[in-house]
Structure 1
Amino acid sequence: MEFNKALLIHHHHSGKANRENTVGLVAGVLAPAVRECVIVRTDEPGEGEKLCRERGELFDVVFILGGDGTVHECVNGLADLQHPPLIGILPGGTCNDFARSLGISPDAETAAQEMLAGRVVSIDVGRANDRVFTNFFGIGLISDASQNINENLKGALGKLSYFISTLQTISHTEPFRYQIEADGKEMEGEAVMIYAANGRFLGTNALPFAPNALQDGELDVLIIHETGIPLLREILSHKPEGDWQPQSESISYFKASTLKVKTDAPMSADTDGELYMKTPAELSVLTGHLKFLTGEGY
């Protein structure tokens, strides 16, 4: 595949070391297939979103070199465009979960080679209130773990820092009351986590959702009613061979295209690893809304 004009965005503080070397490597791979490539480094929060919103339609393709947070920011700038460009993700973060859902190699240089193979797929995007997300929306344990991540450990230990934070958070997580309306059906109860997924990976681990989860027009919703390592093990170790039905009564699972989530008190919500939203929240799916270049594994 060849492109007339491409934008390559990379975030100064995102993910792995030797970012400048990585930018040079991926730019070298892309160069023979791109007539004009504009490379922009973002430094401040919101800069990538603003850039994509204001200039995204000027390009045939936008390549995002970074992790899930950088992807989240840029997609929020691209999702509302009338004529959004193709999107190519070049993994450069800690977990790169949405890139994994797209079957993209975790190595940025290899991923750049895969982008040129021209596998284009229309992908669902989740919406939470006035924002969009690619991978997930979550409250409770997942947002608590995100808040508790030690940034120094994140830089030194990478994805292991997420697991350390989760283990530390499990023993301190208190249940909360929730009210949910899913496709018009109302339910309520107590939970320690509510997780609505568009993607299929969390913390580099595959989730037990169908292979077409990014194209089915629905969110995979998990309600975890109590904490415990065995519950996490069931979720993260199961590989779907059809519709997944959890074995534990402490896990509720269903699919929905719309979801209204209320809690007794406002709770911080995690969207793609970013914490800036609180409940209540109204979720929906923008079916096939954006076109992504996918990897060999999709």
Structure 2
Amino acid sequence: MEFNKALLIHHQHAGKASRVDSLGIVSGILAPAVRELIIIRTDEPGEGERLCRERGEEFDVVFILGGDGTVHECVNGLADLQQPPLVGILPGGTCNDFARSLGISPDVVTAAREMLRGRQMSIDLGRANDRIFTNFYGIGLISDTSQNINDQLKGALGKISYFISTLQTISHAEPFRYQLEADGEKMQGEAVMIYIANGRFLGTNALPFALNSLQDRKLDVLIIHDTGIPLLREILTHKPEGEWQPQHESISYFKAASLKLETAMPMLADTDGELYMKTPAELSVLAGHLTFLTGDEY
């Protein structure tokens, strides 16, 4: 596949230590298929979003070299455009969960070659209040885990740091009261985590959601009422064979197109690994909102 004009965005501080080397390699792979390739480094938070919002319509495709946080930022700029470009993700972060949901290889060199094969799909996005998420919105254990990740450990150990943080957090998980309205149906109770997903991966692990979860016009809602290693084992080891029916009574799971979430006190929310939102939140699906280049496994 060839493009007339493409933008390659990369963040100065995002992702793996080898990102600079990756930039040279992937730009060399992409350049022969692009008549005009513009490479821009972003340095400050929000710069990628502003760049995509202001200039995204100039390009046939925007390639994003970075992790889930960089993708989250750029997609929030692209989603507002009347004529958005194609989007290609070049995984350069720790987990690259949304790229995995698109079947893109975690090896950035292989991913760059996949981008040129021309496979593309219109993909659902999630909206939480006025912000877009590609992979998930979550409160409770999920946001506590992200807060507890040691940045130095993350840089040295990569995805293992997420599991270390989860194990450290899970024994201290505090239940919270919630009220949830899902497609008009109201419910309430206590939980240690509410995880509302568009994608299918968390911490590099496939979740037991349907293979078409990025195109089903629904969000996958996972409520964990109690915690423990057996719960994590069921969630992370179940493989989708039809609709998932959790066996553990402490897990509630359903799909919904729109949700209203309230908690007794405002709670910090994790949105694609970024911690800046709080409850309450109104969530919905933007069906087929952006078109992404997909990998060989999608």
Residue of structure 2 in register with 1:263 after alignment: 263
1:277 counterpart = 2:277: yes
Residue of structure 2 in register with 1:148 after alignment: 148
Q: For the residues of structure 2 that align with 1:25 and 1:80, how far apart are their CA atoms?
A: 31
CA-to-aligned-CA distance 1:260-287 (integer Å, 9 cap, x gap): 1000000000000000000000000000
CA-to-aligned-CA distance 1:2-34 (integer Å, 9 cap, x gap): 100000000111111122211110001001110
Q: How much has 1:38 moved relative to structure 2?
A: 0.4
Query: What one-letter code is carried by the residue in structure 1 that aligns with 2:223?
Result: I
Residue of structure 1 in register with 2:70 after alignment: 70
1:43 counterpart = 2:51: no
Residue of structure 2 in register with 1:131 after alignment: 131
Q: For the residues of structure 2 that align with 1:31 and 1:132, how far apart are their CA atoms?
A: 30
- Larger mean CA deviation between 218-227 and 11-20 belongs to 11-20
Residue of structure 2 in register with 1:111 after alignment: 111
Tell me the SS of whatever aligns to 2:214. Answer: helix
Query: What one-letter code is carried by the residue in structure 2 that aligns with 1:185?
Result: E
Q: For the residues of structure 2 that align with 1:39 and 1:81, how far apart are their CA atoms?
A: 20
Q: How much has 1:106 moved relative to structure 2?
A: 0.5
Residue of structure 2 in register with 1:81 after alignment: 81
Query: What one-letter code is carried by the residue in structure 2 that aligns with 1:267?
Result: M
Residue of structure 1 in register with 2:225 after alignment: 225
Query: What one-letter code is carried by the residue in structure 2 that aligns with 1:165?
Result: S
CA-to-aligned-CA distance 1:147-185 (integer Å, 9 cap, x gap): 010000000000000100110001111000000000000
1:186 counterpart = 2:214: no
1:61 counterpart = 2:68: no
CA-to-aligned-CA distance 1:203-231 (integer Å, 9 cap, x gap): 00000000000000000000000110100
Query: What one-letter code is carried by the residue in structure 2 that aligns with 1:133?
Result: F
Q: How much has 1:132 moved relative to structure 2?
A: 0.3
Residue of structure 2 in register with 1:208 after alignment: 208
Residue of structure 2 in register with 1:11 after alignment: 11
Q: For the residues of structure 1 that align with 2:220 and 2:75, how far apart are their CA atoms?
A: 20
Query: What one-letter code is carried by the residue in structure 1 that aligns with 2:121?
Result: V
Q: For the residues of structure 2 that align with 1:113 and 1:178, how far apart are their CA atoms?
A: 45
TM-score in terms of structure 1 length: 0.99
Query: What one-letter code is carried by the residue in structure 2 that aligns with 1:146?
Result: S
Q: For the residues of structure 2 that align with 1:62 and 1:232, how far apart are their CA atoms?
A: 36
Unaligned runs of 5+ in 2: none
Residue of structure 1 in register with 2:33 after alignment: 33
Q: How much has 1:88 moved relative to structure 2?
A: 0.1
Q: For the residues of structure 2 that align with 1:120 and 1:297, how far apart are their CA atoms?
A: 12
Query: What one-letter code is carried by the residue in structure 2 that aligns with 1:278?
Result: K
1:241 counterpart = 2:241: yes
1:197 counterpart = 2:197: yes
Query: What one-letter code is carried by the residue in structure 1 that aligns with 2:240?
Result: P
CA-to-aligned-CA distance 1:229-280 (integer Å, 9 cap, x gap): 1001100000011010000110000000001100000000000000000000
- Alignment: residue pair count: 298
Q: For the residues of structure 2 that align with 1:14 and 1:297, how far apart are their CA atoms?
A: 25
TM-score in terms of structure 2 length: 0.99
Tell me the SS of whatever aligns to 2:241. Answer: coil
- Larger mean CA deviation between 60-69 and 9-18 belongs to 9-18
Q: For the residues of structure 2 that align with 1:165 and 1:42, how far apart are their CA atoms?
A: 29
Tell me the SS of whatever aligns to 1:100. Answer: helix
